[in-house]
Structure 1
Amino acid sequence: MQEHLTVVKHPLVQHKLTLMREKDTSTAVFRQLLREISQLLAYEVTRELPMTTREIETPMQEMDAPVLAGRKLALISILRAGNGLLDGMLELIPSARVGFVGLYRDEATLKPVQYYFKVPDQMDKRLVIAVDPMLATGNSSAAAIDLLKQAGATDIRFLCLLAAPEGVARMKEAHPDVPIVTASLDDSLDEKGYILPGLGDAGDRMFGTK
């Protein structure tokens, strides 16, 4: 396993991912599972957040208690499927700032084209977590990270549900400083760029579209 890649092997993550992969899982159940698994993955991607202490008063006495240090972290959804991971993470980290990156693939050039970009201020002072369920070819993800760096972000992590070896390699080439956290490193991509064995199109399954 590449040192910049963390595969979360927790039994609850793996069990929920199996349920999500099954083709007969309904849209409603898929959406709920994605929300649950995103919270479990959020524990891993935020494991090393900087801490400080502040003085509080318990019912028993005063104490110096641990709290998160620094600016509120920024969660960046890579539209549209990233919103499924975003929802669950916000339940766990409700004070996080939120941004959105919209990219589509030009069918002629196969290059990502930006159509929307809105992120919090002071990106250089925040831990930035970019979320997208699928790391397939890695082209859109690498382009999204490019935009976040242009906006000032220097401490970035990428969170996905599934990754293909091709996408991991592309991200390592383009952004070796960005750690990847995922629930599974799958086998490969098919000729259309879908992850195998994968779970199909995450956006379609989440929103009930085809």
Structure 2
Amino acid sequence: MKNVFCITHPLIEHKLGLLRDKHTKPFQFRMLIDEISTFLLFEATKDLNLKEIQIQTPVSSTIVKKLDEKIMICPILRAALGMLDSVFRLIPDASVGFLGFARNEETLEANFYFEKIPQDAINRTAIVIDPMFATGGTAIEACNFLKSKGIKKIKFISILATPQGIENFKKVHKDIEIYVAAIDEELNEKGYIVPGLGDAGDRVFNTLG
């Protein structure tokens, strides 16, 4: 599918297998989310703009390249908070724009309840992060909001997606690239990804009870 990039790599597939396992402990789950997110972010940022600057090494002066693009990472609360550390390791100067959605368990629709984005968001490239791309509803609403604020360049990173979710999303946002570690088979009647990995938020924050 155009603009949808499923990043296959032996290390990603190995870590994704551990992530799916219901016996994986919360601290291991958080570590795996972080590691897989790093791989995905690396791919999603390969076309960022650069500029040349002159610096002084211990030996001589030379021309090096530096990022010439302001980045805003937009985690969708709450599960995406587990992906943030990977962002700050790779892009420590990134700003953060928080987007809060709560899923209606009956209609499976995403209800928007919170936003806090930088004042200069319109001048930034937005990279939305969310571990699960299920129905695509939350992703659609998040990108609708960002576009309503005048943000032109948006990318989306998710660990798991479904064909249905991607199809729904691309009907509305054909211009936005999606980067995922796997595209699973389907959604069940409750809107969960199958085979999936369960509720990412509950597993990240150990709130399964």
TM-score > 0.5 by shorter chain: yes
Which secondary structure does the structure 2 equivalent of 1:3 belong to?
Answer: coil
Residues 80-135 of structure 1: CA distance to partner in whole angstroms, max 9, x if unpaired? 11111122221221110001100113356543221110111222321110000000
Q: Aligned to 2:180, which of 179, 182, 197?
A: 182
Counterpart for residue 154 of structure 2 = 156
- C-alpha spacing 1:200/1:73, structure 2 compared with 1 (3 Å): same
Q: How many residues align?
A: 208
In structure 2, what is the Cα distance between the partners aligned to 1:110 and 1:13? 29
Which residue of structure 2 aligns with residue 166 of structure 1? 164
Match of 1:81 in 2: 79
The aligned amino acid for 1:149 is: K
Unaligned runs of 5+ in 2: none
The amino acid of 1:137's aligned partner reads: T
Partner of 1:36: 35
Quote the residue 1:45 is aligned against.
Answer: 44
Look up the SS of the partner of 2:58 in the other structure.
coil
Amino acid at match of 2:46: R
> Where do 1:43-192 residues align within 5 Å?
43-70=42-69, 72-107=70-105, 109-192=107-190
Task: Name stretches of at least 5 consecutive residues in structure 1 with no aligned partner.
Answer: none
Measured in 2, the distance between the counterparts of 1:86 and 1:55 equals 31
Partner of 1:13: 12
TM-score (norm 1): 0.95
Shift of 1:33: 1.0
Instruction: Render the CA deviation track for 1:22-73: whole Å, top value 9, x for unaligned.
Output: 1100001001111111111110011110011101011111111111113x20
**Counterpart Cα distance in 1 of 2:131 and 2:103:** 17
The root-mean-square deviation of aligned C-alpha atoms, in Å, is 1.2
Determine helix, strand or coil for the equivalent of 1:75: strand
TM-score, normalised relative to structure 2: 0.96
User: Quick one: distance in 2 between partners of 1:154 and 1:127?
Assistant: 7
- State the secondary structure of the residue aligned to 2:156: strand
Q: Does 1:25 align with 2:43?
A: no
Q: Note the alpha carbon deviations across 1:152-210, whole angstroms, 9 max, x for none.
A: 21100000000001110011011111100000011111110111111111111111112
8 Å Cα contact 2:108-2:191 kept in structure 1: no
Query: Is 1:52–1:69's contact at 8 Å kept on the other side of the alignment?
Result: yes
Assess, with a 3 A threshold, how the Cα gap between structure 1 residues 108 and 197 changes in structure 2: closer, same or farther: closer
State the secondary structure of the residue aligned to 2:97.
strand
User: Is contact 1:133–1:162 with CA below 8 Å preserved after alignment?
Assistant: yes
The percent identity for this pair of structures is 42
